[in-house]
């Protein structure tokens, strides 16, 4: 396979990259380079090209005007030349897109071996990839990185929003990094795109530790007591990174100033007032705040740095310090992963991707980026945490395991392959439907999960469907992680959505079922009523068009049920896993969705086999002809079924296989 990445903005070159050289030279370039280098090393990839824009700017370097740059034996950077030769910011690139599109199509037309897949980064690159798809039929994938609708405050750039909407609506697959991107950000543009969204954790390219000498030299001249621990921030000097809030937090808490120094690495600059307008304004504000709060000697704002300096700063912060990311919104947070891999505790914004990262790591603190006092308190707690060393070591180990570019390349490869090699799902003559939950029903035992996959592949007369409380993108992530077979149909979000395989690695929402469950559904009214009851809502990424989710006990679920009935709001309330409450349309649920699918296939519920382990599986287990419960079933569902169904002595997928052997043997007897 030949792969091509397209990323037009910023200063993209072979490593080492001068991050912060311009306001658009940031995390997306680290992403593109890391991804491309890992793919170039993958055995199924013949060659990788990165296409970017050529420009002439003596202050930035001559390399950016070179037509081709070799990064490795199977990796090249190709640059598009147009009449506009100057460096352009991301916003200014929009006017150059018609010329860039023509140059890109000319580049592809001249290639003797064209790419099999184009991976576009940002909406401007998506326009070029879409044009190549129309001209040459090339499959294409989109990664948004940062979306305009997430911009905090002010007017949104309408042209950029529409370009992003078009990219999301038309991309054959969308690869994102965080759950917030997959579950909320992309959905703001096109909810039906969820079936084409894949959450794949990126890697980081962290240099080996070389000690702290470079860091100490870089910041020593700024500080009165350079031996104190450091609060470290590394970010481009743009307003959305909210670096000023970190200075305000530091100024607001005298204990924090006594306890640590503040080190902010805000890109590269020649002078405070030089550079793009926003960059100059942000840097000037930082210096003004330091001056206004008499923080000289406590704050370091180095003017220049390189990758080795940043690595040394991470090493210095790992001793007794903490890493801070106070962004108003952070789409993902590669620097958070870098810090964690270097062994630095993290305090980060709760807005965007950091919530996914810290959940994965099982460590760190999330804060409201608009509350400097809360940020200061979180930093103090991290610095004084008596379990600091144990927590940071655990987080470091998990960060190294979870965030690797080689793993990213391995996960993305089948996504690419499906776009160019799959055929539409062929109809089959079915005798049964097997609808199974995923978590702790098919997962939990990898060997048993593999055996289940072999079983599903061997039974052409049984339609395998999943029925899960997870969203479509999270369900697919777990299925991929466990090597489970991709089902023809997914019943997701506790039976409030049905998604069917398209044959190109994606899933399409069943519009008929969506119309069915929408009748009488008042999701916002449900959320308002539950808020009045004082019951805690789950995160924004857990709220779906036909599902509102909360934390609570079985008693609180009964209270919600009674309150909804008293208010005349028709809904289906489900309690599971001891603490989760889901409220769905009255017509929705796993049982309702399975009934809908059985009828579509000309089958009865008596022909359906269902497997599940928790309370949100109960209605499906009750309604189907042949329920299967693995030995690890909980939430009282064994007792609720009153002996009906097959209770296996084996847990997880082994129990499902045991049950299938039993119920199908009975059927065939």
pLDDT tens digits, residue range 75-89? Answer: 999 999 999 999 998
Mean pLDDT, range 141-164, rounded to an integer: 85
Mean pLDDT, range 335-356, rounded to an integer: 94
User: Which helix (H) or strand (E) segment is 291 a member of?
Assistant: helix 277-292
Alpha carbon distances (Å) from 270 to 21, 60, 89, 207, 634: 10, 12, 18, 25, 63
Q: Which pTM value belongs to this model?
A: 0.88
pLDDT tens digits, residue range 217-233? Answer: 999 999 999 999 999 99
Which residues are CB-contacts of 524 (< 8 A; sequence separation ≥ 6)? none
The domain spans of the chain are: 2-199, 213-402, 423-516+588-668, 520-584
The more confidently predicted of residues 134 and 155 is 134
* HSE (side-chain half, CA atoms, 13 Å) at 343: 13
pLDDT for residue 422 is more than 90: no
Give me 553's structure tokens: 């006990």
Fold of 520-584: Hypothetical Protein Ta0175; Chain: A, domain 2 (3.90.1070)
Residues in the chain: 669
Mean pLDDT, range 432-445, rounded to an integer: 96
Predicted pLDDT at 206: 87
pLDDT tens digits, residue range 485-530? Answer: 999 899 999 999 999 998 888 999 999 999 999 999 999 999 999 9
User: Which helix (H) or strand (E) segment is 252 a member of?
Assistant: helix 243-252
Among candidate residues 663, 619, 666, the one with its CA nearest the CA of residue 641: 619
pLDDT tens digits, residue range 286-337? Answer: 999 999 999 999 999 998 888 899 999 999 999 999 999 999 989 888 899 9
Sign of CA dihedral 123, 22, 408, 333: negative
Q: What is d(CA 207, CA 307) in angstroms, rounded to the nearest whole number?
A: 8
Mean pLDDT, range 107-120, rounded to an integer: 97
pLDDT tens digits, residue range 24-74? Answer: 888 899 999 999 999 999 999 999 999 999 999 988 999 999 999 999 999
Predicted pLDDT at 307: 85
Predicted pLDDT at 153: 57
- CB environment 116-143: b (16+ within 10 A), e (fewer): bbbbbbbbbbbbbbbbbbeeeebbbbbb
Q: What is d(CA 144, CA 181) in angstroms, rounded to the nearest whole number?
A: 9
Among candidate residues 269, 204, 208, 203, the one with its CA nearest the CA of residue 236: 269
Tell me the DSSP string of 434-451. Answer: EEE--TTTT-S-HHHHHH
Domain 213-402 matching CATH 3.90.1170.20: the answer reads no
Q: Would you call 266 exposed, middle or buried from its count of C-beta atoms within 10 A (0-12, 13-18, 19+)?
A: buried
Predicted pLDDT at 46: 97
Confidence of residue 238 (pLDDT cuts 50, 70, 90): confident
Which residues are CB-contacts of 557 (< 8 A; sequence separation ≥ 6)? 573, 574, 575, 581
pLDDT for residue 96 is more than 80: yes
Mean pLDDT, range 100-118, rounded to an integer: 97
pLDDT tens digits, residue range 161-170? Answer: 999 999 999 9
Q: Which ranges of 492-537 would DSSP assign to H, the alpha helix?
A: 511-518, 523-532
pLDDT tens digits, residue range 623-643? Answer: 999 999 999 998 889 999 988
Q: Which of 266-270, 378-382, 391-395, 496-500 has the lowest mean pLDDT?
A: 266-270
- 144 close to 165: Cβ distance less than 8 angstroms: no
Give me 132's structure tokens: 């190549």
Predicted pLDDT at 537: 95
Q: Would you call 225 exposed, middle or buried from its count of C-beta atoms within 10 A (0-12, 13-18, 19+)?
A: exposed
Mean pLDDT, range 184-188, rounded to an integer: 93
Which residues are CB-contacts of 534 (< 8 A; sequence separation ≥ 6)? none
Predicted pLDDT at 267: 75
The more confidently predicted of residues 666 and 263 is 263
pLDDT for residue 649 is more than 70: yes
Domain 423-516+588-668 matching CATH 3.40.50.1000: the answer reads yes
pLDDT > 90: what percent of the chain? 81
For domain 2-199, the CATH superfamily is Glycogen Phosphorylase B; (3.40.50.2000)
For the chain, the average pLDDT equals 93
CB-CB neighbours of 406 under 10 Å:
14
pLDDT for residue 441 is more than 70: yes
Predicted pLDDT at 427: 63
3-state secondary structure 366-420: EECCCCHHHHHHHHHHHHHCCCHHHHHHHHHHHHHHHCCHHHHHHHHHHHHHHHH
Q: Do domains 2-199 and 213-402 have the same CATH topology?
A: yes
Q: Is residue 580 left, alpha or beta, with left meaning phi > 0 and alpha meaning psi from -120 to 50?
A: beta
């Amino acid at each position: 396979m030949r792969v091509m990445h397209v990323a037009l903005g910023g200063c993209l070159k072979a490593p080492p990259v001068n991050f912060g050289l311009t306001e658009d030279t940031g995390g997306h370039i680290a992403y593109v380079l890391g991804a491309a280098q890992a793919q170039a090393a993958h055995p199924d990839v013949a060659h990788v090209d990165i296409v970017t824009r050529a420009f002439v700017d003596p202050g930035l370097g001559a390399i950016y005007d070179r037509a081709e740059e070799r990064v490795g034996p199977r990796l090249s950077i190709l640059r598009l030349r147009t009449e506009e030769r100057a460096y352009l910011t991301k916003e200014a690139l929009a006017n150059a897109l018609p010329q860039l599109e023509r140059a890109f199509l000319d580049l592809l037309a001249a290639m003797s071996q064209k790419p099999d897949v184009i991976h576009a980064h940002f909406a401007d690159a998506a326009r070029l990839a879409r044009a190549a798809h129309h001209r040459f039929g090339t499959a294409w994938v989109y990664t948004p990185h940062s979306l305009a609708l997430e911009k905090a405050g002010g007017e949104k750039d309408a042209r950029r929003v529409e370009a992003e909407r078009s990219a999301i609506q038309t991309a054959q697959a969308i690869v994102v990094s965080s759950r917030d991107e997959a579950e909320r950000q992309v959905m703001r543009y096109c909810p039906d795109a969820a079936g084409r969204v894949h959450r794949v954790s990126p890697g980081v390219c962290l240099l080996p530790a070389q000690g702290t000498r470079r860091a100490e030299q870089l910041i020593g001249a700024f500080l009165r007591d350079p031996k104190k621990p450091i609060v470290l921030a590394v970010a481009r000097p743009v307003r959305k990174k909210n670096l000023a809030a970190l200075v305000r937090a530091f100024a607001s808490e005298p204990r924090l100033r006594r306890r640590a120094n503040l080190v902010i690495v805000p890109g590269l600059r020649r002078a405070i007032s030089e550079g793009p307008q926003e960059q100059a304004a942000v840097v000037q504000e930082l210096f003004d705040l330091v001056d206004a709060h008499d923080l000289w000697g406590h704050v370091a704002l180095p003017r220049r740095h390189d990758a080795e300096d940043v690595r040394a700063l991470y090493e210095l912060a790992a001793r007794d310090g903490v890493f801070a990311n106070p962004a108003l919104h952070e789409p993902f947070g590669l620097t958070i992963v870098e810090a964690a891999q270097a062994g630095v505790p993290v305090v980060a914004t709760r807005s965007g991707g950091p919530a996914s990262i810290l959940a994965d790591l099982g460590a760190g603190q999330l804060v409201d980026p608009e509350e400097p006092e809360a940020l200061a308190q979180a930093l103090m707690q991290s610095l004084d945490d008596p379990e600091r060393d144990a927590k940071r070591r655990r987080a470091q180990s998990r960060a190294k395991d979870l965030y690797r570019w080689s793993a990213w390349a391995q996960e993305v490869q089948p996504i690419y392959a499906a776009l160019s090699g799959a055929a539409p799902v062929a109809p089959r003559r079915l005798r049964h439907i097997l609808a199974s939950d995923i978590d702790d029903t098919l997962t939990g035992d990898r060997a048993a999960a593999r055996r289940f996959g072999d079983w599903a592949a061997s039974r052409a007369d049984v339609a395998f469907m999943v029925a899960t409380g997870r969203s479509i993108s999270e369900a697919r992530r777990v299925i991929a992680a466990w090597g489970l077979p991709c089902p023809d149909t997914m019943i997701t979000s506790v039976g409030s959505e049905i998604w069917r395989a398209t044959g190109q690695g994606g899933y399409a929402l069943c519009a008929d079922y969506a119309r069915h469950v929408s009748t009488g559904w008042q999701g916002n009214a449900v959320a308002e009523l539950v808020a009045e009851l004082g019951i805690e809502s789950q995160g924004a990424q857990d709220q779906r068009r036909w599902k509102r989710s909360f934390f609570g006990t079985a008693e609180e679920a009964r209270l919600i049920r009674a309150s909804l009935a008293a208010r005349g709001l028709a809904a289906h309330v489900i309690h599971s896993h001891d603490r989760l409450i889901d409220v769905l349309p009255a017509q929705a649920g796993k049982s309702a969705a399975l009934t809908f699918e059985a009828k579509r296939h000309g089958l009865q519920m008596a022909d359906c086999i269902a497997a599940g382990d928790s309370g949100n599986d109960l209605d499906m287990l009750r309604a189907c002809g042949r329920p299967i419960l693995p030995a690890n079933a909980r939430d009282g569902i064994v007792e609720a079924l009153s002996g009906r169904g097959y209770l296996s002595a084996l847990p997880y997928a082994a129990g499902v296989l045991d049950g299938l052997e039993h119920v199908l043997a009975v059927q065939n007897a």
